[in-house]
């Protein structure tokens, strides 16, 4: 059938509706999800089981193409689930992201005109400083197939990771093949290698390689010795080579035991002139070029002053805390992950910052405790996960009544519902600046400020 793409879903796939008659002659709606299509396009698709209410199908042919459609440069685009918009001109991607933010705010009753145009990248490729690749049961290394987490696509390249990261990844893939090592079978819960994490600082150039395996490396000493030799010879910039034991059934990059094969267990990175130590599980912005813009915007829009106290909620390892701390009188960071708080303390010490206090606690309880010990903040910033801060935290912020709030968001929908909670407390949304940290994908970040009405 030939259908028209009406809009896109949250994963960036085209949506179309077809009306058909059921066996009684009554109209029946069929909703189609068609990846790699753009709004307004007419596409031909073959639908199995069209009597269902919802089906997913790849396009057989683009009958009428969008004016912004371009050839996808990556040879793996048709199957790989890493990028979904390589077929869309970058200016079109940015406009779609701006519209997404505007729509999310408009649904909550905010003025969409407060949203500026999305800030893009000069070069929207090779921007990621961290990638997590998966091993297939046969030992091939790659990324999951689009929409299928059971299938791994063996990769020859990856255009959103740095060239050095890709070269190191391909070397590990060759090493696995040379030694006949098996990957982990998720269905049978057997096999050796699960994931490869590659991390690089674009400032210091340091690389980290982390292999996640189900056994200790001593069980494969000859192969491990060869890996250490290969990496040492070909990649002197690898300052951390790790073997991370993970026997859990859950398919996550976690470690029960960490084995240091070469170098140290962390690498150094820098942002905004501050030095950070990054371990394998440290959360750090994966697009450092655009992350610097986030920091600059947060400072510009938040207008910190030396006479003020500030609370940084969901502070992580101090990515925003350290730049803000040099601009306010005192800063308190709150984060539920204890290892991140320890890193934040260490990062503050490494950078000679002494006006910070960090607390390992969940956001809502952490605010209460910090208000008692730290005092009333004039400025509050939050950078919550994709799920948002939630109503309880937002109402607690409202009751604390900071003069200004800076909200850094990675999900426009939860951002809009979160800030709606602040309206009864007398806050006005001043402006929203979307920033594209993930070109070729649907994701968009925002920096926004709200002011307490006096």
Question: Over the stretch 13-28, which tens digit does the pLDDT of each residue have?
Answer: 999 999 987 777 788 8
pLDDT at 116: 98
Q: What is the pLDDT of residues 85-98, one digit of tens each?
A: 999 999 999 999 99
For the chain, domain boundaries: 2-67, 95-122+286-452, 130-271
Q: What is the pLDDT of residues 292-322, one digit of tens each?
A: 999 999 999 999 999 999 999 999 999 999 9
pLDDT at 114: 98
CATH topology of domain 130-271: OB fold (Dihydrolipoamide Acetyltransferase, E2P) (2.40.50)
- For the chain, give the mean pLDDT: 95
Neighbouring C-beta atoms of residue 230, cutoff 10 Å: 15
Using the predicted structure, report yes or no on whether residue 40 has a pLDDT greater than 90: yes
Of 135, 443, 84, the C-alpha closest to 143 is: 135
* CATH superfamily of the 95-122+286-452 domain: Vaccinia Virus protein VP39 (3.40.50.150)
Identical topology for domains 2-67 and 130-271: yes
CB 379 within 8 A of CB 406: yes
CB 141 within 8 A of CB 173: yes
Which residues are catalytically annotated? 410
* 115/97 Cα distance (integer angstroms): 11
Q: Can you name the residues that pair with 356 across neighbouring β-strands?
A: 331
The mean per-residue pLDDT over the stretch 355-378 comes to 95
Second CATH level (architecture) for the domain 2-67: Beta Barrel (2.40)
pLDDT at 97: 98
The mean per-residue pLDDT over the stretch 169-180 comes to 97
The mean per-residue pLDDT over the stretch 411-427 comes to 98
* 314/334 Cα distance (integer angstroms): 6
Cβ neighbors of 368 (< 8 A, separation 6 or more) are 396
């Amino acid at each position: 059938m030939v259908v028209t793409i009406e809009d896109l879903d949250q994963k960036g796939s085209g949506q179309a509706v077809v009306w058909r008659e059921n066996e009684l002659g009554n109209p029946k709606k069929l909703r189609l999800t068609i990846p790699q299509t753009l709004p307004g396009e007419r596409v031909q698709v073959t639908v199995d089981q069209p009597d269902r209410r919802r089906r997913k199908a790849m396009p057989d042919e683009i009958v009428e193409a969008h004016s912004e459609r371009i050839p996808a440069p990556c040879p793996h685009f048709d199957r790989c689930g890493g990028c979904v918009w390589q077929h869309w001109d970058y200016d079109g991607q940015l406009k779609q992201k701006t519209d997404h933010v505007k729509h999310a705010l408009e649904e909550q009753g905010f003025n969409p005109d407060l949203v500026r145009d999305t800030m893009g990248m000069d070069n929207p490729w090779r921007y990621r400083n961290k990638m997590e690749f998966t091993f297939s049961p046969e030992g091939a290394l790659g990324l999951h197939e689009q929409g299928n987490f059971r299938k791994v696509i063996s990769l020859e390249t990856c255009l959103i990771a740095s060239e050095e990261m890709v070269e190191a990844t391909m070397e590990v893939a060759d090493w696995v093949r040379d030694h006949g090592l098996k990957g982990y079978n998720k269905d049978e819960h057997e096999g050796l290698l699960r994931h490869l994490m590659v991390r690089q600082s674009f400032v210091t150039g340091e690389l980290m390689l982390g292999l996640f395996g189900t056994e200790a490396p001593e069980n494969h000493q000859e192969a491990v010795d060869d890996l250490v030799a290969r990496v040492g010879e070909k990649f002197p910039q690898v300052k951390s080579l790790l073997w991370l034991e993970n026997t859990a059934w859950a398919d996550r990059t976690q470690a029960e035991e960490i084995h240091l094969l070469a170098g140290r267990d962390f690498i150094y990175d820098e942002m905004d002139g501050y030095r950070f130590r990054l371990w394998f599980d440290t959360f750090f912005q994966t697009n450092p070029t655009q992350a610097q813009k986030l920091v600059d915007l947060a400072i510009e829009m938040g207008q910190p002053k030396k006479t003020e106290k500030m609370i940084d909620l969901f502070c992580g390892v101090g990515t925003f805390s350290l730049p803000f701390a040099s601009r306010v009188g005192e800063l308190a960071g709150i984060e539920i992950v204890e290892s991140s708080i320890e890193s934040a303390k260490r990062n503050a010490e490494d950078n000679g910052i002494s006006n910070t206090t960090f607390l390992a606690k969940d956001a809502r309880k952490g605010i209460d405790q910090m208000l008692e010990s730290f005092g009333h903040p004039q400025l509050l910033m939050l950078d919550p996960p994709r799920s948002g801060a939630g109503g309880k935290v937002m109402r607690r912020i409202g009751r604390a009544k900071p003069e200004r709030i800076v909200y850094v968001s990675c999900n426009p929908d939860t951002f809009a519902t979160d800030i709606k909670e602040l309206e009864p407390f007398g806050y006005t949304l001043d402006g929203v600046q979307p920033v594209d940290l993930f070109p070729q994908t649907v994701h968009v970040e925002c920096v926004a400020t709200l002011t307490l009405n006096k």
